[in-house]
Chains A and B, each alone.
Chain A
Amino acid sequence: MSQAEIHLAPRRPASLGGLGMGWAAVILFALASVLAMPRVPWLADYPAAAELPVADWLNTAMTWVVANFRPVFQAITTLSTVPMGWVRDLLQWLPWSVFMLIMAATAFRAQGVGLALFTALGLIYTLLVGLWPQAMNSFALIFLSVPLAVLTGFLLGVWSFSSPRVERMLNPVLDVAQTVPAFAYLLPILLLFGFGPVVGLVASILFAFPPMVRNTVLGLREVPSTIIEVGQMSGATRGQLFWLVRFPAGLRQILIGVNQTTMASLSMVIIASMIGGTADIGWEVLSTMRKAEFGASLVAGAVIALMAMILDRITFGLAQSEGRTLGQRRFLRRHGFWAAVAAAALLLFLLCPVVPALGAWPHNWRIDLATPLDTAIGWFILTFKPLLEAIKNAALFFFVLPLKIGLDKAVSPFTWGFALQPWHAAVYSVLVLAGAFAASRRGQGALAATILLFGLVLYVGIADMPWPATVAVLVWFGWQMGGMPLAAGTGLALAFLLITGSWDKAMLSIHLTTLGVLAAFLIGTTLGIVAARNDWFSRIMRPINDTLQTMPAFVLLIPIVMLFKIGDFTALLAIVLYACVPAFRYAEHGLRQVSTETVEAATSLGATPMQLLFQVRLPLALPNLMLGLNQTIMYGISMLVITALVGTNDLGQEVYIGLSAGNFGQGFIAGIGMAIIAITADRFCRAWQYNHAAKLQKGAV
């Protein structure tokens, strides 16, 4: 935060000598609590007596629900198991050639020959590595859950479009539904619906419908009012106005919703397979990973990645081509293609008995990729072990640990090579104070405050900060950025974490996210800056980013776990890898959008390339960068949850344990805790964007 932004935040009290009284008070309070911490135990640890057994209450409530409503849910299970079985059996029974034909034809319709070819090759890979049945099981779930989620989302979207009250009520629900980690869904569903594939179905519907709602509302609302008026003036009835005017005009956005819903559904289907019993591709990855068969795991992971890319491109292509194909009105031109596909499929069917290879992929056509991969991985790890260890330790000792437990504990002969002496601490304090003083002298009060606070946090560690200090700083910060609502929201969120006893784990989550997001943001933005200047780099990065973004998060874990084993560092790397994509995208987009006129004007004034970057391009791209940061945080948090699988210690782990131990309350509270952190971070980012926009507007008048 630069001083200028803080300056325009709403309801800012008068500042004193560049450093506001409020900031001074907050910093002094934080310092005092840190100093008093050794003597006042409740400062370090929120007293257990003041916690509420929320988890127990939740468990009791859940037990009651299960006891009383189980038959209802069981009935749903039974009812949905039957059609699920049909779809599953159908896909298993369908000759691979027919399935491939249909998928490739759809891909062709959506985007053309390239995608059709890609689809066919992806499916051939699946056949080659012998994972066809598993992939079909996953497809069966997706083919069922996507239509249901789309339907649910569409209906809710239409409803909340037509009634502002419903929208107001639905919005927070969607916020939570989208930020509660996927694992947290699984247990209650498991308890209610019983063990079986129906859990995956229900979970993926619940997880996947929110984007559909949002895009439906957006699509319906964005239809230009003139078009609606044209409909009215043409004498449309209410129904016609919706189905013939508004719906088709908003269809493209709605189809984008279908795309997002499909992707969410896929990732949930994959995650849900961890409860087992599905024999699908997700289970394949997970079980091989648990057995440390990384070759097999990578092979299966690649199948998931391919599935994701195929589904993404097809659904996205359908949204893009919306409107393009509508001109072809004539029956044959519209339906001839599908008639031909049906005929070809029939032909393949008839050929199957004659050429069995078209029905079942022959065994001797398979290739074993896992074994050579394992060998290669083994060789690689053996050869580079010292290097990998060195990287990992350096990162842990110099970055992860200091921010987590503070310099006071992280600096030891074992890690840094020397023990922390009192004079070290003194020099450190002087440096921090000098930095703050220099900033304050230059009138940058907020920067000074930031330096002081950061110095303090780095010395004590996020996890070891006394909770009243953390609460004070964050609430004060919220008040500065977004006034009363944000301060109150932040306060409530932190209170929830304290009262439910999730504080310590939550701080670990925040620690990991902070580090991961900072690194991802720096790396992503830097690469984005480069890509904005070099078209060839941008072209190289695009497919990489697409792949990273479409891949279900946990596939990304496989190679990292392979190299660095489990632990915080692996989690961190996964977060960085996954979360740097939005930072990259928004940075490149933002920089490319900077008006060339402005840049030329600055150039004509004699700005050096560096000045151009830091004083013209980046400031102008700032809103986009902040959007990128917001997305980076969201991506980081969603990855954080997945990294529970590789042994972190935070809330995500808590959710995971809750799931595996069948403790609904514990898992759910931790899940809500993560959602709360994500939503609060999002509100902070939005407050910043709002302030920035307001400032620009005021400046323009």
Chain B
Amino acid sequence: MKDQTPDPAARAVKLSCRNLWKVYGTRPEYYFDTAGYAIEVDPLAARMRREAHVPAAIDVSFDVHVGEIFVIMGLSGSGKSTVIRCLSRLVDASHGQVLLDGQDLLAMPPKALIEVRRHKMGMVFQNFGLMPHLTVLENVAFPLRLQGVGLVEQREKAGRVIELVGLRGREGAFPGQLSGGQQQRVGIARSLVVEPDVWFLDEPFSALDPLIRRQMQDEFLRIQKMLHKSIVFITHDFLEALRIADRMAIMRDGKIVQTGTPTELILNPADDYVARFTSEVPRIRLLQAAACAVPATGETSALPQVSADGMAEDLIDPLARHPEGLALRDASGAPRGVVTPASLIAALAALGSEDGHVAG
């Protein structure tokens, strides 16, 4: 609902994860070595728990499309990091498939995996993971150095991403001399320097305070608008997910309980667990500008023109100044109707009643 053009489902699948399991314990392979018969998910997970194993990811499946931001959410310990680590093969999944451009990552030999990591994947870590003994420039250029890229090219490429994340002028600083937000910018720059297709971010902003976090989210969206990566983003902050997600999955105790767009999750939560995550969200946050538009009845050229891709929330201010209404136009400039105070309220009311019957 949020992302209307183009429809994510219509885009090619970049990364796909099928029936992924990760079990910690003494003998995880024991549960999967009888190939051939269908695994019954819940009984098997229960049995693992009984037998002192930790099923950290249970039968996880989802697709990430080209240029899409896929967010995984869940409480602490619900297995988010485990899933993203399996996707990047930092840990080896116990069972299942991870397909990157149709290639099975889990079956990939080490050499090929190194190549994939060098050119196709970037990852940002919650604790930044900067090398304390390297400067900002050296940290960012590090992946290139591993590839044996020449010094001049290293500098040039690293300089470009450093500029992108707004750290120009701090190239010579050591991580210890930077603030948390700046450090994470370095982490982001480093993950982007090899121009990966797939970008993994494991709670990249959780260690930052709220103001900086907000700023970094904007920055992140700005960068994504330019680069169009396929992204798996982990967070435990629903508002963050709401701001950035095209689609999202909610995890609980290793399982995905629901997948969908943020609005779908709010309006049709699969169970109480999901509902509890979403209950805090003010409804107006969900409303797209386009959703409160009504067909134009008269001449619209006199009205102020606004983008139809924005959120309804952002229209309140302009509406207050122009109570006669706003004309919406989409990216191509085609008219998409008008928004008036009355239409906005009507749309909100509709949302509320829908929501009401869900909560009731």
A537 CB to nearest chain B CB (Å): 32
Q: B130-138, B301-309, B333-341: which one contacts chain A?
A: B130-138
Q: B95-103, B121-129, B161-169: which one contacts chain A?
A: B121-129
Q: Which residues of B contact A327 (CB under 8 A)?
A: 135, 172, 174
A547 CB to nearest chain B CB (Å): 31
If over half of A's interface residues share one DSSP class (helix, strand or loop), that class is named, otherwise mixed; here it is: helix
B294 CB to nearest chain A CB (Å): 49
A235 touches B129 (CB 8 A): no
Contact of A323 among B88, B118, B132, B147 (CB under 8 A): B132
Q: Which residues of B contact A620 (CB under 8 A)?
A: none
Given contacts A234-B142, A234-B146, A237-B114, contact A249 B123 (CB under 8 A): no
Task: Bits for B175-193, please: 1 = Cβ < 8 Å to A, else 0.
Answer: 0000000000000001100
| A244-B191 Cα distance, complex, nearest whole Å | 17
- Of residues 125 through 146 on chain A, the ones whose CB sits less than 8 Å from some CB of chain B are none
B123 touches A251 (CB 8 A): no
B114 touches A245 (CB 8 A): no
- Of residues 246 through 301 on chain A, the ones whose CB sits less than 8 Å from some CB of chain B are 248-249, 251
On chain B, the number of residues with a Cβ less than 8 Å from chain A's Cβ atoms is 33
Closest to A251 in B: B133
Instruction: Using CB atoms and an 8 Å cutoff, list the residues of chain A in contact with chain B.
Output: 224, 226-227, 229-237, 240, 244-245, 248-249, 251, 322-323, 326-327
A232 touches B128 (CB 8 A): no
Closest to B187 in A: A230
| A237-B118 Cα distance, complex, nearest whole Å | 10
Q: Which residues of B contact A231 (CB under 8 A)?
A: 146
B143 interface contact, C-beta 8 A = yes
B90 interface contact, C-beta 8 A = yes
| A447-B201 Cα distance, complex, nearest whole Å | 58
B114 touches A233 (CB 8 A): no
Q: Which residues of A contact B143 (CB under 8 A)?
A: 234-235
| A237-B145 Cα distance, complex, nearest whole Å | 12
| A236-B125 Cα distance, complex, nearest whole Å | 17
B129 touches A227 (CB 8 A): yes
Closest to A241 in B: B146
A326 touches B147 (CB 8 A): no
B118 touches A235 (CB 8 A): yes
Q: Which residues of B contact A227 (CB under 8 A)?
A: 129-131
Contact of A224 among B88, B129, B134, B147 (CB under 8 A): B129
A216 CB to nearest chain B CB (Å): 17
A230 touches B118 (CB 8 A): no
Contact of B117 among A224, A235, A244 (CB under 8 A): A235
Instruction: Using CB atoms and an 8 Å cutoff, list the residues of chain B in contact with chain A.
Output: 88, 90, 114-119, 121-123, 125-135, 142-143, 145-147, 172, 174, 190-191, 194, 200
| A230-B145 Cα distance, complex, nearest whole Å | 13
Given contacts A233-B122, A235-B147, contact A248 B133 (CB under 8 A): yes
Closest to B200 in A: A233
B133 touches A322 (CB 8 A): yes
A224 touches B146 (CB 8 A): no
B34 CB to nearest chain A CB (Å): 31
| A312-B145 Cα distance, complex, nearest whole Å | 35
Q: Which residues of A contact B125 (CB under 8 A)?
A: 226, 229-230
A249 CB to nearest chain B CB (Å): 6
A-B contact pairs, 15 of them (CB 8 A): A224-B127, A229-B123, A230-B129, A232-B117, A233-B90, A233-B121, A234-B142, A234-B143, A234-B146, A235-B114, A235-B143, A236-B146, A237-B146, A248-B131, A323-B174
A244 touches B146 (CB 8 A): yes
A234 touches B129 (CB 8 A): no
Q: Which 8 A-B pairs have the closest CB atoms?
A: A235-B118, A226-B129, A234-B143, A235-B117, A230-B129, A323-B133, A233-B123, A235-B114
Given contacts A236-B146, A244-B146, A326-B134, contact A226 B128 (CB under 8 A): yes
| A628-B122 Cα distance, complex, nearest whole Å | 47
B120 CB to nearest chain A CB (Å): 10
A229 touches B133 (CB 8 A): no
| A226-B134 Cα distance, complex, nearest whole Å | 15
| A381-B129 Cα distance, complex, nearest whole Å | 63
| A224-B131 Cα distance, complex, nearest whole Å | 10
A236 CB to nearest chain B CB (Å): 5
A206 CB to nearest chain B CB (Å): 32
Closest to A249 in B: B131
B90 touches A232 (CB 8 A): yes
